[in-house]
Amino acid sequence: MADFDYDLFVIGGGSGGVRAARVAAGETGARVGLAEESRYGGTCVIRGCVPKKLMVFASAYGDMPETARAYGWNIAGDGFDWLRFRTRLHAELDRLEGVYRRILGNSGVTTYDTRATVVDAHTVRLASGETLTAKHILVATGGRPVRPELPNAHLGLVSDDIFNLGTLPRSILIVGGGYIACEFACILHGLGVKVTQFYRGAQILRGFDDEARGLIAESMRDRGIALHTGTNIVEMTAQNPDNAAPGSPVRVTATTGHTEDFDAVLFATGRTPNTDGLGLEQAGVKLGRGGEVVVDDYSQTAVPSIYAIGDVTNRVNLTPVAIREGMAFVETVFKGNPTPVDHDLIPSAVFTQPELGTVGLTEEAAAEQEPIEVYCTSFKPMQSAFAGHDERVLMKLVVSKATRRILGCHIVAPEAGEMIQLAGIAVKMGATKEDFDRTVAVHPTMSEEIVTMRHPTRSA
């Protein structure tokens, strides 16, 4: 057997790469090296899920004084201090990065704070020029946001930039209709920014349940977000050509012919895998049309010693999925227990206001597959109705007529992400509508409606 520097070398220090490295080293005694060219924690911890969710929390407090007054409290709203929040945000991200570094060190992983590229099936090269060999190489380099091919697109921000803004813009145009675009529209509106959103499609949140995304679009508009579907940018120019940097004020002309000035534009129009310049194709690894690493059910590439997990494979781009893929990789390669990755029935949440929690098939996808029944209710929740708010929530179950199994569960409500995590367990276990019916409701709660809907709203 050839003598390698490492049993495993991981390229990328995000959630998936770190989990695979520390488990392989800590639980199997493997010699593991890991290289990260930016910050440990990757997209999720540094410029994705974690800072975004903290901004979600911050944005939700804007309505609290008004709601509190309806409940008898004398509370004044004094506005939002972005710099104070940003200081605490960055301190928390620094703390979490330190946690990741300590976890790797305590597990015996050797780390390299530099870029690494693939030379061949068993060799990586660091930016310093040093080469290292490994029996197995794991690519976990994630993805990054991209700007559209549009003149002056460099003037627009991307999601990574939001967490580092010096000041909040007074007005912003968000381009895109996916979950990142919609989440930031709600966040920035909640922080006091005047938000306009363009999406070229007919409805936001493509791929999610039609009824659920319709309610979210309605809620966003009711809150004051100027959401324009079927709309895109025709032309974008700097208001001040002498200061034409990303995030600077721009003048935008839309496909509708309308022209408007914005303090900033945010592009949330897609992400791409980080495979550029990694040397993967030269080493024999196959890439897909979008630059993603092509892998099999065990995350193995066309080169048997090279594996890939997480967003760089563009399978299901969610942090918990990358972590699961990393664990399955360790089970397969280092524990002798071949474990395919399970991408079926993954619960997920969109942190708009209100949130969307979803697991399983949409009504539309289920109806194409087999005959179904739909159980659905929409209502004003007690807490907001008492305060005089008009916002509605949605609870929806998609049920197979043949097996009575719950094929999909969709919730639009405050804290829907928390609810869908628990509902996801039941759906993953194969619960039937009658199993839900046998479950006693917790009263008074919003979620009790999930187990009290007795008659189908419609069949398909």
DSSP class of 321? H
443 catalytically annotated: yes
Instruction: Specify the amino acid at residue 412.
Output: V
- Is the confidence at residue 261, as pLDDT, over 60? yes
> What share of the chain in percent tops pLDDT 70?
100
Q: Which residue has the higher pLDDT, 244 or 34?
A: 34
Mind listing the pLDDT tens digit for each residue in 107-166? 999 999 999 999 999 999 999 999 999 999 999 999 999 999 999 999 999 999 999 999
Instruction: Specify the amino acid at residue 244.
Output: A
How buried is residue 346: exposed, middle or buried, by Cβ count under 10 Å (0-12/13-18/19+)?
middle
Give the ranges where 191-318 is alpha helix by DSSP (H): 210-223
The number of CA neighbours under 13 Å toward the Cβ of 439 is: 18
Mind listing the pLDDT tens digit for each residue in 390-412? 999 999 999 999 999 999 999 99
Q: Answer whether CATH 3.50.50.60 is correct for domain 6-143+272-333.
A: yes
Q: What is the mean pLDDT of the chain?
A: 97
> What six digits make up the tokens of 101?
């570094």
Ranges of each domain in the chain: 6-143+272-333, 153-269, 348-459
DSSP class of 295? -
- Residue 246, preceding peptide bond in cis (omega within 30° of 0): no
Q: Do domains 6-143+272-333 and 153-269 have the same CATH topology?
A: yes
Mind listing the pLDDT tens digit for each residue in 278-311? 999 999 999 999 999 999 999 999 999 999 999 9
Are 39 and 114 contacting, i.e. CB atoms less than 8 angstroms apart?
no
- What are the residues facing 236 on neighbouring strands? 252
Residue tagged active-site, from 90, 136, 443, 455: 443
d(CA 252, CA 260): 5
Q: Which helix (H) or strand (E) holds 314?
A: none
d(CA 4, CA 277): 24
- What are the residues facing 120 on neighbouring strands? 123
Please give the pLDDT value at position 244.
84
The number of CA neighbours under 13 Å toward the Cβ of 147 is: 17
| Band of residue 1 on the pLDDT scale cut at 50, 70, 90 | very low
Please give the pLDDT value at position 402.
98
| Band of residue 78 on the pLDDT scale cut at 50, 70, 90 | confident
Class for the domain spanning 348-459: alpha beta
> What six digits make up the tokens of 145?
């946001």
Q: Answer whether CATH 2.60.40.350 is correct for domain 153-269.
A: no
> What share of the chain in percent tops pLDDT 90?
97
| Band of residue 242 on the pLDDT scale cut at 50, 70, 90 | confident
Mind listing the pLDDT tens digit for each residue in 322-381? 999 999 999 999 999 999 999 999 999 999 999 999 999 999 999 999 999 999 999 999
Please give the pLDDT value at position 2.
65
Q: Which helix (H) or strand (E) holds 119?
A: strand 116-120
Q: Which residues contact 303 (CB under 8 A, 6 or more apart)?
A: 121, 283, 284, 285
Q: Which residues contact 403 (CB under 8 A, 6 or more apart)?
A: 432
- What are the residues facing 397 on neighbouring strands? 375, 409
| Band of residue 45 on the pLDDT scale cut at 50, 70, 90 | very high
Please give the pLDDT value at position 76.
85
